[in-house]
Chain A
């Protein structure tokens, strides 16, 4: 038998004093493609990072590349989150910066980024087109990195990985932010890679996997445990439902009968048309589902409502009965809206602790700059209890598993009991159980008179309360229909 490609023995890893991996042994042999799944917070990503050399534990970690292979002897890790820098090597982007136009070229264009990558890795552009095409990236070549949506960033990372074809490719949550069609295509590509000898390790709990996956494992008490199939992976225990805190059982004061009124909305960036003649009215109490492919303009549309987009001033929009640009401040608007989005999560203060982060929701700020009154403190504590976060209230958000992080952001956004809730792919990156819990909370919250706009890809996993639907396609509102049956 040949040497294992990955040989790990007696691996130990701790994060901030907590044992994550404990005497872990693992071998990956040639021809194997692995799926690592299981409970959130079990150490899946940590193991992936150790293999990629991004995290150092103690113990043996050996990677044996095949010497006479046409594939580059590399381990490539595609992380769960995206990262990019501006031309000055700076990572200080701020939330919603992409909507503020500056003439300074702050970041590379997609094309320049790919050209630099090709040069660094010795790749040929001829092989790239098909990936760009399948991820619908052809039109984005001239776009600056900062202008990409979160889903597009994930795709760009995947494009690079597929293009490079490293001997060992590890992808953490490969399907995050991808819609059904894209996921299917991606699986096809994974199979193609496996066919030419790339070994895959996918970290996810998804069930629709590429055919090449032939090993399944999860991490249990710090060690790896092989299982027979994806169905055999352990799932997070479903949570005990507690009653919603009383202050959230009160219907929020509705500022107006019509929450959002948009007429003939047009937004373009240079030559790229993002929104084309959208008309949309959201009345108090309505529950909307907003759907569309990556890059169809959903985030832009929502940013017009949340006061984050300068183009709101150039369009015919009224929020809570008041036309935009008639003397209201964005803080007057934000006060009435609770929002979660992948971007908010990404740009969220990396130094924030759970309790402070939730408290900052009272002021719509990223970071807590004020004293919090006793009454408000009580509300925070009730929500911590409701979400079972009390134990971690002093932890840095970034040290929590993704699912918990998202609950913190949900708590932050509902703490002020907002009239309008805008949830932009709130379950991106969450697994089935987490999503089900999250959506159940949304349903319950919305039972008390809130207005909801919910963005989601997953036709199967949506809150029950949704009753109307709008689909965006290439910037146009294609269908507006009553969702006449309950989707579940």
Chain B
């Protein structure tokens, strides 16, 4: 199998990469009717599989689960998830031939083998749906020509997909139709219906393409953002320890700080996050982040280049073939970091303190989110896609760190994201080594404002505010956030 993207002529590459159209809710007026009365069979009943299935059924659709034989025989969690919620469960042989739509919600790593097993059983003219396009784009899996291939990718963890649906809302979702597989022209209608069934249409839907989704998802969630938060957490913690800050305090400031800081990001973008700082701290954070952006830009560009060329997925798939040797080694090493091993202290940290005592963290998150966005847009990804894969994802990932630090984050995110995370982290830390020597506790660990005159120069402040507010990620963010203002805060603190 060849990388699908690389087989395309440049014009077509740019064409597919540039698909990003924010859809109006009126485009979903047909509701679920395109799938009404049809048989939906979901393969896999994990985080996405179970929750998407519960929503689809509650939207009046006919849902059952096809699981691999071992899972049924051994009554694994996936089997229990499905049967305890009273779904019909069967083997591939029993259920796939009856399906009008097969939704592949197994781990990305398994997609090739799952499709090999499932595709021959699918009936003529059926539809195959994904929630992430890696298999199609990076592995270049070719699907039988009579089958329609669509994607409905919720941009949130499975539990949120369910929780938001039950509130009468949904999570932002990307939908796409694979241009190589739309023989009857029904792909878009079915993708929209599926999306309505999961509640996604209420929170903002982006019409995307398999290529755009994969290239932006790989760059954003799967490599940069997790890596960014891991590196930022470790650097911040180590610096505080080096400078004699109480380890319990340092551990807590970082673990929960990422969540508190990015909650502001989620609600009002970089602007809101920066506005939580005093004027002098904001100016400082702005300067630090500009410096960080200069240092890190080449690394972001390298990641994006490797993702575009397929180099990233090639090396990762090599590691898959090698029994995840690299991944497992890196995972173990992360478990050994001082940050990971120091429990959060039993100290009270006020909400505002998470900002005032962590100006470095704020600067670093600003730098990372803006760079990720800029790099993606430079590579031809549309700002809307780039927004979902940079700013939007950051708080969702930060929430997992607040729960149980890096280990938890790496457990929850996909193997791909975990692999990318370590790759980024290992390259980023040495890159920032010199810079970190200049960092002191005024910007991480202690209150930046303490003992300072809070006065600022008008012109400087105006210029800084202007730069923050007019960054392109803020412009597109303002529009997209409006569609999802109703989303609830996920909070641990």
Best-buried of B85, B202, B489 by chain A (most CB within 10 Å): B85
* Bound CA–CA A313/B36 (angstroms): 17
Q: Quick check: B86 and A314 within 8 Å, CB to CB?
A: yes
- The stretch from A20-28, A156-164, A360-368, A459-467 touching chain B is A360-368
* Bound CA–CA A267/B80 (angstroms): 16
Q: Does B428 contact A (CB under 8 A)?
A: no
Q: How far is the CB of A392 from chain B (nearest CB, A)?
A: 22
Q: How far is the CB of B164 from chain A (nearest CB, A)?
A: 8
Q: Quick check: B403 and A310 within 8 Å, CB to CB?
A: no
B403: which A residues are within 8 A, CB to CB? 88-90
Q: Quick check: B486 and A102 within 8 Å, CB to CB?
A: no
Q: Quick check: A307 and B492 within 8 Å, CB to CB?
A: no
Q: Quick check: A307 and B58 within 8 Å, CB to CB?
A: yes
Contact of A349 among B162, B488, B490, B492 (CB under 8 A): B488
* Bound CA–CA A132/B489 (angstroms): 36
Q: How far is the CB of B405 from chain A (nearest CB, A)?
A: 11
Indicate whether A369 sits within 8 Å of B486 (C-beta atoms), given known contacts A88-B403, A103-B77, A310-B86. Answer: yes
Q: Quick check: B167 and A329 within 8 Å, CB to CB?
A: no
Q: Quick check: B81 and A102 within 8 Å, CB to CB?
A: yes
A102: which B residues are within 8 A, CB to CB? 50, 81
A100: which B residues are within 8 A, CB to CB? 54, 85, 162
Q: Quick check: A367 and B169 within 8 Å, CB to CB?
A: yes
Indicate whether A364 sits within 8 Å of B168 (C-beta atoms), given known contacts A103-B81, A332-B60. Answer: yes
Q: Quick check: A365 and B58 within 8 Å, CB to CB?
A: no
A327: which B residues are within 8 A, CB to CB? 36-37, 60, 62
B408: which A residues are within 8 A, CB to CB? 88
Contact of A330 among B58, B77, B84 (CB under 8 A): B58
8 Å CB interface, B462-493 against A:
486, 488-492
Best-buried of A331, A360, A364 by chain B (most CB within 10 Å): A331
* Bound CA–CA A94/B169 (angstroms): 13
Q: Does B123 contact A (CB under 8 A)?
A: no
Indicate whether A328 sits within 8 Å of B85 (C-beta atoms), given known contacts A88-B404, A103-B77, A367-B167. Answer: no
Q: Does A311 contact B (CB under 8 A)?
A: yes
8 Å CB interface, A97-133 against B:
97, 100-104
Q: Quick check: A329 and B168 within 8 Å, CB to CB?
A: no
Q: Quick check: B81 and A101 within 8 Å, CB to CB?
A: yes
Residue-wise, chain B 275-313 has the 8 Å CB interface mask toward A (1 for contact) of: 000000000000000000000000000000000000000
* Bound CA–CA A94/B199 (angstroms): 16
* Bound CA–CA A90/B58 (angstroms): 26
Indicate whether A94 sits within 8 Å of B81 (C-beta atoms), given known contacts A89-B492, A100-B162, A311-B86. Answer: no
A89: which B residues are within 8 A, CB to CB? 403, 492
Q: Quick check: B491 and A95 within 8 Å, CB to CB?
A: no
* Bound CA–CA A329/B62 (angstroms): 11
Of all chain A residues, which has the CB nearest B203? A369
Q: How far is the CB of A165 from chain B (nearest CB, A)?
A: 25
Q: Does A92 contact B (CB under 8 A)?
A: yes
Best-buried of A308, A329, A331, A351 by chain B (most CB within 10 Å): A329
The 4 closest A-B pairs by CB, nearest first: A365-B168, A101-B84, A314-B86, A103-B77
Size bracket of the A interface: 35 or more
Q: Does A68 contact B (CB under 8 A)?
A: no
* Bound CA–CA A360/B169 (angstroms): 11
B32: which A residues are within 8 A, CB to CB? 329
B37: which A residues are within 8 A, CB to CB? 327
B490: which A residues are within 8 A, CB to CB? 92
Q: Quick check: A94 and B167 within 8 Å, CB to CB?
A: yes
8 Å CB interface, A76-101 against B:
88-92, 94-97, 100-101
Of all chain A residues, which has the CB nearest B51? A100
Residue-wise, chain A 294-335 has the 8 Å CB interface mask toward B (1 for contact) of: 000000000000011011011000000000010111111000
Q: Quick check: B59 and A329 within 8 Å, CB to CB?
A: yes
Q: Does B431 contact A (CB under 8 A)?
A: no
* Bound CA–CA A369/B487 (angstroms): 9
Q: Does B39 contact A (CB under 8 A)?
A: no
Q: Does B166 contact A (CB under 8 A)?
A: yes
Indicate whether A90 sits within 8 Å of B488 (C-beta atoms), given known contacts A101-B84, A310-B54, A329-B58. Answer: no
* Bound CA–CA A104/B169 (angstroms): 24
Q: 30 A-B Cβ contacts within 8 A?
A: A89-B492, A90-B491, A94-B163, A95-B166, A97-B163, A100-B54, A100-B162, A101-B80, A101-B81, A101-B85, A103-B81, A310-B57, A311-B86, A313-B86, A314-B86, A327-B62, A329-B32, A329-B58, A329-B59, A331-B168, A349-B167, A351-B489, A360-B168, A363-B168, A364-B168, A366-B167, A367-B486, A369-B168, A369-B202, A369-B486
Residue-wise, chain B 153-166 has the 8 Å CB interface mask toward A (1 for contact) of: 00000000011001
| Extra inter-chain contacts (13) besides given A92-B490, A100-B162, A313-B86, CB under 8 Å | A89-B492, A91-B492, A94-B162, A97-B166, A102-B81, A310-B57, A325-B57, A330-B59, A331-B59, A351-B489, A365-B169, A367-B167, A369-B169
Q: Quick check: B168 and A367 within 8 Å, CB to CB?
A: yes
Q: How far is the CB of A125 from chain B (nearest CB, A)?
A: 27
Best-buried of A97, A307, A367 by chain B (most CB within 10 Å): A367
A351: which B residues are within 8 A, CB to CB? 489
Indicate whether A91 sits within 8 Å of B80 (C-beta atoms), given known contacts A310-B54, A332-B60. Answer: no
* Bound CA–CA A329/B202 (angstroms): 16
B202: which A residues are within 8 A, CB to CB? 369
B489: which A residues are within 8 A, CB to CB? 351
Of all chain A residues, which has the CB nearest B32? A329
* Bound CA–CA A89/B399 (angstroms): 12
Contact of B486 among A92, A332, A368 (CB under 8 A): A368
A331: which B residues are within 8 A, CB to CB? 59, 168
8 Å CB interface, B14-63 against A:
32, 36-37, 50, 54, 57-60, 62
8 Å CB interface, A198-251 against B:
none
Q: Quick check: A94 and B85 within 8 Å, CB to CB?
A: no
Of all chain B residues, which has the CB nearest A102? B81
Residue-wise, chain A 354-392 has the 8 Å CB interface mask toward B (1 for contact) of: 000000100111111100000000000000000000000
* Bound CA–CA A366/B488 (angstroms): 10
Q: Quick check: A329 and B60 within 8 Å, CB to CB?
A: yes
Best-buried of B50, B57, B166, B202 by chain A (most CB within 10 Å): B166
A103: which B residues are within 8 A, CB to CB? 77, 80-81
* Bound CA–CA A260/B492 (angstroms): 40
Best-buried of B59, B168, B489 by chain A (most CB within 10 Å): B168
Q: How far is the CB of B294 from chain A (nearest CB, A)?
A: 37
A367: which B residues are within 8 A, CB to CB? 167-169, 486, 488
Q: Quick check: A366 and B168 within 8 Å, CB to CB?
A: yes
Best-buried of B37, B58, B488 by chain A (most CB within 10 Å): B58
A364: which B residues are within 8 A, CB to CB? 168
Contact of A94 among B58, B62, B166 (CB under 8 A): B166
B84: which A residues are within 8 A, CB to CB? 101
Residue-wise, chain B 75-103 has the 8 Å CB interface mask toward A (1 for contact) of: 00100110011100000000000000000
Q: How far is the CB of B75 from chain A (nearest CB, A)?
A: 10
Q: How far is the CB of B453 from chain A (nearest CB, A)?
A: 30
A310: which B residues are within 8 A, CB to CB? 54, 57, 85-86
Q: How far is the CB of B110 from chain A (nearest CB, A)?
A: 19
Of all chain A residues, which has the CB nearest B408? A88
Of all chain B residues, which has the CB nearest A328? B60
Best-buried of B32, B36, B60 by chain A (most CB within 10 Å): B60
* Bound CA–CA A245/B468 (angstroms): 50
A329: which B residues are within 8 A, CB to CB? 32, 58-60
* Bound CA–CA A314/B89 (angstroms): 13
A94: which B residues are within 8 A, CB to CB? 162-163, 166-167
Q: Quick check: B492 and A88 within 8 Å, CB to CB?
A: yes
Of all chain B residues, which has the CB nearest A269? B84
* Bound CA–CA A88/B169 (angstroms): 25
Of all chain A residues, which has the CB nearest B489? A351
8 Å CB interface, B183-235 against A:
202
Residue-wise, chain B 398-411 has the 8 Å CB interface mask toward A (1 for contact) of: 00000110001000
Q: Quick check: B492 and A90 within 8 Å, CB to CB?
A: yes
Q: Quick check: B163 and A92 within 8 Å, CB to CB?
A: yes
